Amino acid sequence: MTTSLADVAASDATLRAFLHGLPGVDRVGADQRAAMLGTRSIKTTAKAQAIDLAISMVDLTTLEGADTHGKVRAMCTKAIHPGGGAPRVAAVCVYPDLVSVAAEAVKGSGVKVASVATAFPSGRSSLEVKVSDTALAVAAGADEIDMVIDRGAFLEGDYVKVFEEIVAVKAACGAAHLKVILETGELATYDNVRRASWLAMIAGADFIKTSTGKVAPAATLPVTLIMLEAVRAFRDVTGRQVGVKPAGGIRTTKDAIKNLVLVNETAGEDWLTPDWFRLGASSLLNDLLMQREKLATGRYAGPDYFTLD
C-alpha cells in the first residue's frame, strides 16, 4: 500500500484504484479458517470467563415497528441488570425516535445508547435526511450511531458517494461514535466486504458492522474474519484502531464464543473488549444467561426463568 491514505479519496480514480488494489480474498481459505476456528473447545473456567465477556459486549437490540416505550424501558433494565450477578451489557440499540426513552432509562449505568440512523435498514434516502436523522438521534442522547451505507452506490462502483456520506454522517455524530453497517449479505463477494471495510475506515468509522439483521446471510464467521483482518491491517498502516460488530443471526452461546475465538486468533487481544468488539443481538443474552446458570449450578434453567429480551 504505497498510496497515502490521506490522498486515496482525492478523486474517484484514486479511491477506486486503492480499493481494487487491495489483495484479493481467498474464499476457500477464509471459509476453511473460520470453520477451523469455530471448532475450538472452550470449557470450565475459561468458558465462564468467555460468557461474561460476551455479555459485556452485547448491544441489546430491538428494531421492530411494534417497539413501545415500555418495551424499551424493560430492555434497558435488563441491559443494566441481566440477572444472577452477570455484568451489564455494552449498549442498547433502538430506533432514533426511542433514543430519549432509552437514554433516560440507562442514565448513570454505564450502558451506552446506540441508534440506527440514515434511513435504516435500506439506506435509501437523501444525504440531507441521513444527516438530519443522525443529528436528531445524537441530540436525543445517542452515544453511538449505527449507519447503513448505500449498497446500491457501492455495487455500482460509486465509492466516492459512499465515502462522502460516511464523512458527513461522522461529522453529524459529534462526540458520538460511528458504526458503519456494510450489510455484507448484499455485497455478494468477500472482496467487496474487504473493500467496503477499508472504505468505511478511511472515511472515519469508529466501528465496522456486518449487518442490519434484516438481510440474510448476516454475521457469518468468514465475513467477520475478513473484517477483523481489515481492522488489524488498518491499524498496522495508520496506527488507528477500529472496532468490529457482527450483528444478525448470533443467537447462542456457542455462536458468541466462536466469535471471541475468531477475534483472539485474527485481530488479537487488543480487540477483546467492549470498546473494540460488540455482538449485535436480540435473543443472544438469554442463552448466555442460561449457560452461565448451568456452569454455576450444574442445572439448566428454562427460558421462562428469564425475561424476554
**Which positions are catalytic?**
146, 209, 245
Neighbours of 68 (CB within 10 A): 12
Closest CA to 58 of 259, 267, 196: 259
DSSP element (H, E) containing 144: strand 144-148
Please give the span between the terminal C-alpha atoms of the chain, in angstroms, as a whole number: 44
CA–CA dist 259, 270 (Å, integer): 15
Cell output for 73? 424501558
Q: What is the DSSP letter of 71?
A: H
Up-side HSE of residue 285: CA atoms within 13 Å toward CB? 33
Closest CA to 60 of 77, 47, 42, 48: 77
Q: What is the dihedral of CA 189, 195, 200, 201, to 10 degrees?
A: 130
Cell output for 256? 458468541
Cell output for 228? 477483523
Neighbouring residues of 64: CB distance < 8 A, sequence distance ≥ 6: none
